[in-house]
Amino acid sequence: MKRIATVLLGAAVALGPSLSGAAYQAAEVKDGGSISGTVKLNGTPPPVKAIEVTKDKEVCGKGGKLVDESLLVGPKGGVQYAVVSITDIAKGKKWASEKFTFDQKNCHFVPHVLVVKTGATVDILNSDGILHNIHTFSTKNAAFNVAMPKFKKKIEKTFAAPEIVRTACDAHAWMAGWIVVSESPYAVVTDADGNFKLENVPPGNYKVEVWHEKLGKVVKEVTVKAKEETKLGVELALK
């Protein structure tokens, strides 16, 4: 499969062209269809790496053994934490919710990948009761580096432009996550088996982008018909 973009090495990444262009318009969708499928790894998955906790051991990993979440593959080859989005949709359904939470719990980000609406406020939490320091890496949004001592349970941040923003914790070097800022609600994160579903899509022809932090990005063309489900299978390969 031809690679559409190179594998990301930690930098923030712009989303597809429509999400960074004209503003998305929310409207009633009549006779919407859906796009569903599975993102799979083409090849043998590498072993899941356990994270060595070197500080705050009484809290870090309290909920179970910490693992590197940058590439998690299910028993049938499904890739978790891939982002599937329609990149050339200008009008469609409303966001189901405009409340977004990004937590620091047991010394990892929960969820590992979070999709948020452009311009919405994100509640960034510290559920651990220890010092965290959230640090973002971005180009279209203002990057920030904020200490969150144990008494600071929440900060609020707004992401104004579509972009894939990398997050880290300077207090715990293994902590890594992503905030995907999208104008359109047609952006979802694959589950533990690599499954996804984009619902209530207006009939039409679209480009669907699949992005993963380790496996890079591919684009597929799909046709959505009224009240029908379009199946889409995607394979990503390690470089």
> Tell me, what's the pLDDT at 172?
98
> Tell me, what's the pLDDT at 199?
98
> Tell me, what's the pLDDT at 18?
37
In the chain the domains, ranked by start, together with CATH numbers, are 17-236 (2.60.40.420)
- Token reading at 116: 């948020």
> Tell me, what's the pLDDT at 22?
62
- Token reading at 203: 């009939």
> Which residues of the chain, if any, have pLDDT below 70?
1-22
- Token reading at 185: 């609600």
> Tell me, what's the pLDDT at 8?
38
For residue 209, the Cα-to-chain-centroid distance in whole angstroms is 12
The CA-based angle 235-237-239, given to 5 degrees, is 160
- Token reading at 147: 């200490």
Nearest alpha carbon to residue 226 among 25, 26, 34, 90: 34
The dihedral sign for the CA sequence 9, 110, 236, 22: negative
> How far apart, in whole angstroms, are the C-alpha atoms of residue 112 and residue 200?
26
> How far apart, in whole angstroms, are the C-alpha atoms of residue 211 and residue 216?
6
> Tell me, what's the pLDDT at 179?
98
- Token reading at 76: 């049938």
> How far apart, in whole angstroms, are the C-alpha atoms of residue 188 and residue 178?
13
Q: Count CB atoms within 10 A of the CB of residue 160.
A: 12
Residue 198 to residues 7, 17, 28, 66, Cα–Cα distance (Å): 24, 19, 16, 30
> How far apart, in whole angstroms, are the C-alpha atoms of residue 138 and residue 2?
27
Residue 149 CB-half CA count within 13 A = 1
> Tell me, what's the pLDDT at 7?
36
> How far apart, in whole angstroms, are the C-alpha atoms of residue 163 and residue 23?
14
What are residue 236's phi and psi, to 5 degrees?
-120, 145
> Tell me, what's the pLDDT at 17?
41
> Tell me, what's the pLDDT at 63?
79
pTM score: 0.91
